[in-house]
Structure 1
Amino acid sequence: MKSLKKTRRIQIIAVAAVALTLSTLLIGYAMRDGINFFRSPSQVVAEPPAPTEVFRIGGLVVPGSIVRGQSDTVRFHVTDGPAMVEVHYRGILPDLFSENEGMVGTGRLIDGVFQASEILAKHDETYMPREVMEALREQGEWRGPDPQSLPEPQT
């Protein structure tokens, strides 16, 4: 009788381990396209990601760099101080998007140009995304308060 209980226990543990491994693999597979890492322009220039990798880039829009093309195509440069990356975006920019202001874009780096699929801009005159503040502070360009001392943004 003891041997049967022990065998049953081992079977349950083995099935639970297989189920846990399978569910972890399925969750990882489902999330593979939903995870976007943030990079500053300096990081993108130093180690360009593969053209298939989707990531987020952020920094300040370089003054005088916004060029509006035909229809809804826009080109501009984003910087964190020491490095600059050209950004191409097709779509309608947020109302608060402007030069010398913080932005975060999602997209891919293709032939040295960031092809953005989404552009986010600050939502008021004092807001800047935490990732952008930290990247600017690391480069010595941030002049505001310490990003660690600021409260988390409300979503």
Structure 2
Amino acid sequence: MNPIRRNRLIWIAALVAAAGIAAAMITYAIQRNITYLFTPSEVLRGETGAHARFRLGGMVSANSFQRAQGSLEAHFRVTDGDAEMPVVYTGILPDLFREKQAVIATGRMEGNHFVAEQVLAKHDETYMPKEVADKMGMAHKKHDVEIQAAAPMAETK
């Protein structure tokens, strides 16, 4: 084989190998940072991995919020209408965090409770993330709960 062709072939093979390694590293990094949204019912059915990091979405159950005096550790329960999941979070909760309001917590299961690393509360009166709204809508249909329509937004001229 001609030495020039051999050198070109070596360079092309090296570039293809480098591109393959870079693609594999990017895929691995993306997979580690993906967090799927699950409701308490899905978690209790075992649809999450044993040590997987995921988002838990639903409503904060009424009369479930507890915080020890002088502590940042909060305990509350998240429900989707079918099941409730106990959640433990250490930190400052968002200002809009309240019982009977939509919440998304990111974390993982430890035993029979969810340990949250981050808690996000709903933004305003009509906001709910699409994934949570879809899953809550299915629970509402299952339990024959009347769904309230959101107020239309006023148009500006």
Unaligned 5+ runs, structure 2: 151-157
2:78 corresponding residue in structure 1: 78
Following TM superposition, by how much is the alpha carbon of 1:48 offset from its aligned partner in structure 2, in angstroms?
A: 5.5
Give the alignment's TM-score, normalised by structure 1.
Answer: 0.80
The secondary structure found in structure 2 opposite 1:95 is: coil
2:106 corresponding residue in structure 1: 106
Paired AA for residue 100 in structure 1: K
Paired AA for residue 63 in structure 1: A
**Identity %, equivalent residues:** 37
2:139 corresponding residue in structure 1: 139
Deviates more, 1:82-91 or 1:69-78: 69-78
The secondary structure found in structure 1 opposite 2:34 is: coil
The secondary structure found in structure 1 opposite 2:108 is: strand
TM alignment of 1:33-72, pairs within 5 A = 33-47=32-46, 49-70=48-69, 71-72=71-72
Deviates more, 1:134-143 or 1:84-93: 134-143
1:125 corresponding residue in structure 2: 125
TM alignment of 1:89-104, pairs within 5 A = 89-104=89-104
Following TM superposition, by how much is the alpha carbon of 1:15 offset from its aligned partner in structure 2, in angstroms?
A: 3.7
List structure 1 runs of 4+ shifted beyond 4 angstroms. 3-13
Q: Which whole-Å CA distance do the structure 2 matches of 1:9 and 1:144 have between them?
A: 67
The secondary structure found in structure 2 opposite 1:33 is: helix
The secondary structure found in structure 1 opposite 2:116 is: strand
Instruction: Write out per-residue CA displacement over residues 102-135 of structure 1, whole angstroms, 9 at most, x where no aligned residue.
Output: 0000001111100001000011111111121011
Instruction: Write out per-residue CA displacement over residues 3-40 of structure 1, whole angstroms, 9 at most, x where no aligned residue.
Output: 88986776565444322211111112333432111111
Q: 1:137 to 1:19 in 2, by over 3 A?
A: same
Unaligned 5+ runs, structure 1: 147-155
Following TM superposition, by how much is the alpha carbon of 1:138 offset from its aligned partner in structure 2, in angstroms?
A: 2.0
Paired AA for residue 108 in structure 1: R
Q: Please, what is the CA RMSD of the aligned residues?
A: 2.6
Q: Which whole-Å CA distance do the structure 1 matches of 2:25 and 2:148 have between them?
A: 43
Give the alignment's TM-score, normalised by structure 2.
Answer: 0.79
Q: Which whole-Å CA distance do the structure 2 matches of 1:13 and 1:145 have between them?
A: 60
The secondary structure found in structure 2 opposite 1:132 is: helix
Q: 1:138 to 1:4 in 2, by over 3 A?
A: farther
Instruction: Write out per-residue CA displacement over residues 28-71 of structure 1, whole angstroms, 9 at most, x where no aligned residue.
Output: 23334321111111110101634531110100110111111241
